[in-house]
Structure 1
């Protein structure tokens, strides 16, 4: 909770600082392109041949000194990172990291040991923006960071340039940037904790928060009805699917409980006397009907009742004596027990 508050507080105060005070666009930049590197000094683009990271670091150190800057910016072009949006609303940093870790493992083909996940913030804090994170392969970003660290050039920021047709520029969150620079936690948080006690910063934060709340409330009022309709449709669909699943489970239970016809036929053949034979046999919904002839129809009931599979044997119609013969015609109904 405290870490989330400090991260939010740093980002909020940084958003209150006018861009003209720090003008990050004038800082030297190393641009990681699709096919190589480029160093940007005062709008002068110097391509780095053969992806020579050490040469880029040396030139960056010279450019930082010439521009009288303390650090430089690393920019990544589209294709050197994967942008993943998690939520239309801004979330705490710890929640974003947990969601990003789950999303990386469940929805992307990347291995966690091969990539870095960076929590992002929009460069333009005045416009509504979703919660997002970037996936960058370690073999893309780590060599640059190590090379800059070897020449004592800290990273002022990491910028993720938009793809064609988009205008949203993302930057690394302050927490991830400090971790990338390996800044000690006390040094990272001390200036912001000091600023917290200043009334002017508190007043500015309150004004910014009030404006953000008003904007968020307007967005909620606009989007809530559509989201409620979608939620109702999803609930209705879930209820329909649950009902179908219940029906399927009931059918499966019934099928599993019913005995196969071959098993019933085998049992009837086993218990019927040798002097009896069937002319018709029907099995349906756990009941069986036997029609046939035998020397003594009454002697058939007892063997059927003695079977552990068959119960409730009784004559469905009167026994008919066959003219000119010793046999009797019978029609017996009985119940087939479930397993």
Structure 2
């Protein structure tokens, strides 16, 4: 088995499992009660609805199913709405079926359905495709053996029941075989709980495993194609973006190289002067930090102006002449002097000073 064949089989099995789960979940959500047909005589059925407590149901009625290709009976008017989309459980008389006991090893209980299918043509006159069949629950007959009873009937004999359910627009039909020990005629009180389930068939318009599997496979194919297209588009877009990024990187490198050449050339003296001034001129934050270290705690600066290489400060202090000396002692200033008279009024807490000093570029440790 090749790898591709194995992958296809695994994928088909997974899709089938998901489809069965979806159909089972949708079946549990069905709000319509089931309709039961109990065969009390040959081709004579009692039809009743399995009512939920507190809900009204149509009255029981008798249905006569003709043999052969005769026209199928129509349901009573009171039943038409109830039958539409419902599940029909048909409990058939045991004399319709061939009953064959089958003894198997106890270990075969896990594969019982597959073994019944494989041995059906040996136990009955029909193959698995020609018959409707089922089995009873296995019974232990010894420590190493189990026994089950295979139940089978030719499929064409039961086709009329399926066509009847289709004509009534039912959603699905389930066939049961009444117990072999059921009294004859079969009592109309017989239920499907003590009968053997044979087969279930979804009818037109209902949700079935095959249809859900096809939809899931189509969705999976569409998702795979979409993912492949997205990957291809992403790859093309990524290559284009990488190309544009490379072009931008080259342009930036070229522009930087051109700027370096301009700075080194002789035809851009103004730019070199600005760069030199930037390197030689101290920053205002450096001057403010130097002043904050120089000025005593009883001194308050109300105005500060920096114009080129000159600094002017205005404020209040207790000893204005002492400030001039402190400023001149700083490595950042030179030639400190008063550019306006020092005054003091009755309302001022100290002397109002106006000091001007030259700025001396200084790049010490940490500046």
TM range (shorter): 0.3 to 0.5
Q: TM-score, normalised by structure 2?
A: 0.34
Q: TM-score, normalised by structure 1?
A: 0.36
Higher helix share: 1
